[in-house]
Amino acid sequence: MDVREKLNILADAAKYDVSCSSSGSNRNTPKGGLGNGCKSGICHTWAADGRCISLLKVLMSNACKYDCAYCVNRRSNDIPRATFTPNEIINLTLEFYRRNYIEGLFLSSAVIVSPDHTMELLVKVAKELRTVHKFGGYIHLKSIPGASEELLHEAGLYADRSSVNIEIPTDKALQYLAPEKNHASVFRPMNYLAERKIEYNAGGSFSRYRPKFLPAGQSTQMIVGVAGETDLQILTLSNGFYRQQQMKRVYFSGYVPINADKRLPVITTKPPLVREHRLYQADWLMRFYKFNYNEIVDAAHPNLDLELDPKISWALRHPEFFPVDIQTADYEMLLRVPGIGVKSANLIASGRRFCKIRLEQLKKMGVVMKRAQYFIYHPDTPASLRRLYPEMVRPLLVAQTKPQQLNFLDALDSKPALLTAS
Amino acid sequence: MLSIQYDSTFDGFLSVVFEVYRQRLDVGAIVPNRRAGEATDLFLQPFWVETSEESARRLKRAIANAASSDVLAMLDIVFRSEEDGVEMKILTFLRKLFAGIDPNYGRNPASPEMLPLYRIAQSVRLEIADMRGMVRFSKTSNGTYFAEIEPKYDILEILTPHFRNRFANERWAIYDSRRNFGVYYDGHSAAEVTIPNLESVKAGMPPDTITQLWKDYYNAISIKERENPRLLRRCLPVRYWKHMPERDERNQLAAACPPQIMRPSDVAKANSFARIAAR
């Protein structure tokens, strides 16, 4: 089997892993070597599904010994299998990198022989790239649950980011769908790596010679819409990841059906793209907008509103805070106004020290007035709009279905024949 | 009123501003000389200002003092947008800045003169960030990596340090075929170059074998059930596709019917449907 065929098979098998970021590491180009890290991350291209491609995302092997119901690579599936040799992956990475196709390598693998054996292969690739080829680009390694601590530790020394996927938000459902896995086995490598990272960063020596340990931290991923979990459960869990394991990202992957299985939704199910999008919006609110997870969803509203984004939903549930006076409101409050993002909130906060912010300027700053107009108070607001009535505003904000232009000729065709005297 | 012409460089533009103050010129328009052939305003008298490094340096120091070095850097970025009339926008801002009415004027990003400049700078910076990823090198027979780009804004000079750091030990060249100049890095230092007959140079290059692997990878990594052409166009504007091998037309036709290789997800899904049909 040649490299081209292996690449086709193993890239296809890796595509359900949504992690794409290449940010968080600013590794310098090694002396006499190739490549560096870019703190903000760089997207190199976008696939036909609109997801960014910044890393060469492949599996080491897809010959898995586990049998997880939702996974394309499960043991019981009759599919083409392939395994890269470490050298093939290293060559591909370097050749792609030199042509500026990619930002680095994302290496994952199905479990072959044993978790330790698999992890050893992954670490070998990363180690050779860093030491033999003096590669300074981004490396994202999967930690395999069940691998030994020594191997995890070594992985942390060579990789920029590591991840273990939690897959299903509830332990019971995970054990039902993936008999070989449970939450405890996933949390063990996560916690181990998080603790080592804290150790490496302790001591206050910020010398550039200090060894780097997972400079871009950890991430994880869960499948949405396969086990009947609520958004409250998902966001509670991801909040825990951000707080306790110091995760940089939690990814959500709307379930794309591949396998016909009694335990799964029927195979014709459409991926829950809107729900996934709303979850990411909620995730952004938690990470950049200083929202707490239990403000976005709570026991009374365990699921996100699919028609409106979580920020508007929160605002409509709390009319007592609105309209906000943009001349005097706290920065934190500006961030909570629908239609105002981090950049425009910064502009408002720094600009209003010098002059009053008028409506005209807000538009030029990039504030989405379509949404913001109902929630802000400024000198140009008419007196009648100085109170927020959620039940009046909601229908104005819900996206209306666009009226369709009828094709005149179609209408003629489908028209019943004229009544004739018969 | 004068229609002032200069040599299209940032230093040239700063010299214009310097002369406007020194000679108390009555400015109607500032036109870079790359637009020399285009229709001009008949009622404006043409006036040429020679670029002077000394006056540019003095003006730069004055801007950094009156506002900040960040603002100076922003003006440079804004100037690179090459937008119609951007010179007059910068001049209006500088006039207000040097009038000294408000000592804090240079720090206010929301002033009516600064805000439009701020927005232009935002979109130029966006393209710089995008271009870092969208440059596509191909390996030539002598081991040099060559890339052709056609950015909307004049950003090649700003991109150079990024690639110089990243590919410090390679030989590479990036060519802006829209503005007809490029940068060549020989493993030690970068220099500006022009290629008079780019087409024939490109025709002489052998096809790069790795490109096919990259196209395969690109097609394999997309999830069919989630296809979203609108999102793709928003993230990756069509004007960049020309120089990206993975987006060229022939590759997109091939994406529908891959070579004699079965992809696991297609096989698994077909098997699942077959099993349901058999029931």
pLDDT band at A406 (very low <50, low <70, confident <90, very high): low
Same domain, B81 and B25: yes
- Are B144 and B174 within 8 A, CB to CB? no
Region A224-233: mean pLDDT is: 92
Same domain, B141 and B119: no
| B181–A contact, CB cutoff 8 A | no
Same domain, B236 and B180: no
Q: Give the closest of B109, B210, B273 to A99, CB-based.
A: B210
The pLDDT mean for chain A works out to 90
Q: How far apart are the first and last CA of chain B?
A: 86
Same domain, B110 and B197: no
Chain A residue closest in CA terms to B129: A42
Q: Is residue A410 part of a domain?
A: no
Contact A259 B134 (CB under 8 A): no
Q: Is residue A170 part of a domain?
A: yes
> Which of helix, strand or coil describes residue B185?
strand
Region A85-99: mean pLDDT is: 96
Residues of the domain holding B145: 135-206
Q: Is the pLDDT of residue A420 over 60?
A: no
Same domain, A275 and A328: no
Q: Is residue A422 part of a domain?
A: no
CB within 8 A of B161, min separation 6: which ones?
none
List the single range of A249-263, B120-134, B183-197, B241-255 with lowest mean pLDDT: B241-255
Name every chain B residue with its beta carbon within 8 A of the beta carbon of A56: 217
Rg of chain B in Å (alpha carbons): 25
Q: Is the pLDDT of residue A218 over 70?
A: yes
Residues 150-169 of B with CB under 8 A from A: 162-163, 165-169
Residues of the domain holding A33: 3-293
Q: Is the pLDDT of residue B202 over 90?
A: no
Residues 220-239 of B with CB under 8 A from A: 220-232, 234-236
**Minimal CA separation from B4 to chain A, in Å:** 29
Q: Is the pLDDT of residue A246 over 70?
A: yes
pLDDT band at A211 (very low <50, low <70, confident <90, very high): confident
Residue A321 has what DSSP assignment? G
Same domain, A19 and A134: yes
**Minimal CA separation from A95 to chain B, in Å:** 7
Region B218-238: mean pLDDT is: 92
Same domain, A38 and A86: yes
Contact B235 A43 (CB under 8 A): yes
**Minimal CA separation from A303 to chain B, in Å:** 23
Same domain, B52 and B151: no
Q: Is residue A236 part of a domain?
A: yes
Residues 335-364 of A with CB under 8 A from B: 347-348, 350-355, 357, 361, 364
A161, β-bridge pairs: A140
* Rounded-to-integer distance, Cα A353 and Cα A357, Å: 10
| B244–A contact, CB cutoff 8 A | yes
| A3–B contact, CB cutoff 8 A | yes
Q: How far apart are the first and last CA of chain A?
A: 74
Q: Give the closest of B107, B133, B213 to A44, CB-based.
A: B133
CA angle A317–A320–A325, rounded 5-degree value: 115
The pLDDT mean for chain B works out to 90
List the single range of A35-44, A67-76, B201-210 with lowest mean pLDDT: B201-210
> Which of helix, strand or coil describes residue A195?
helix
pLDDT of residue A123: 96
| A277–B contact, CB cutoff 8 A | no
Q: Is residue A370 part of a domain?
A: yes
Q: What is the pLDDT of residues A193-206, one digit of tens each?
A: 999 999 988 876 67
pLDDT band at A413 (very low <50, low <70, confident <90, very high): low
| B262–A contact, CB cutoff 8 A | yes
Same domain, B105 and B33: yes
Q: Is residue A137 part of a domain?
A: yes
List the single range of A337-346, B4-13, B106-115 with lowest mean pLDDT: B106-115
Contact B229 A48 (CB under 8 A): yes
| A72–B contact, CB cutoff 8 A | yes
Domain C-terminal end among B126, B159, B182: B126
Question: Residue A86 is part of a domain; what is its CATH number?
Answer: 3.20.20.70
Same domain, A357 and A265: no
> Which of helix, strand or coil describes residue A275?
helix
Contact A15 B132 (CB under 8 A): no
* Rounded-to-integer distance, Cα B1 and Cα A324, Å: 48
Q: Is the pLDDT of residue A61 over 60?
A: yes
pLDDT of residue A234: 96
Name every chain A residue with its beta carbon within 8 A of the beta carbon of B270: none
**The token pair that represents A248 in the structure block:** 């940089």
ipTM of the complex: 0.92
Same domain, A7 and A34: yes
Q: Is the pLDDT of residue A135 over 60?
A: yes
- Quote the number of domains for chain B: 3
* Interface A-B: count of C-beta contacts within 8 A: 217
Domain C-terminal end among A293, A319, A354: A293
Q: Is the pLDDT of residue B251 over 80?
A: no
pLDDT of residue B204: 77
Same domain, A259 and A364: no
Domain C-terminal end among B126, B158, B180: B126
pLDDT band at A412 (very low <50, low <70, confident <90, very high): low
List the single range of A264-268, A328-332, B75-79 with lowest mean pLDDT: A264-268
pLDDT of residue A409: 60
Chain B residue closest in CA terms to A352: B110
Contact A16 B223 (CB under 8 A): yes
Region B219-231: mean pLDDT is: 92
pLDDT band at A1 (very low <50, low <70, confident <90, very high): confident
* Rounded-to-integer distance, Cα A15 and Cα A271, Å: 15
Sheet strand arrangement including B172-176: B138-139, B145-149, B172-176, B181-185, B190-193
Antiparallel, parallel or unpaired: β B181-185 and B190-193: antiparallel
Express as a percent the part of chain A with pLDDT over 70.
93
Region A115-131: mean pLDDT is: 96
pLDDT band at A414 (very low <50, low <70, confident <90, very high): low
Region A46-69: mean pLDDT is: 94
| A52–B contact, CB cutoff 8 A | yes
pLDDT of residue B250: 64
* Rounded-to-integer distance, Cα A260 and Cα A258, Å: 7
Q: Is residue A167 part of a domain?
A: yes
Same domain, B17 and B116: yes
Name every chain B residue with its beta carbon within 8 A of the beta carbon of A362: none
- Quote the number of domains for chain A: 2
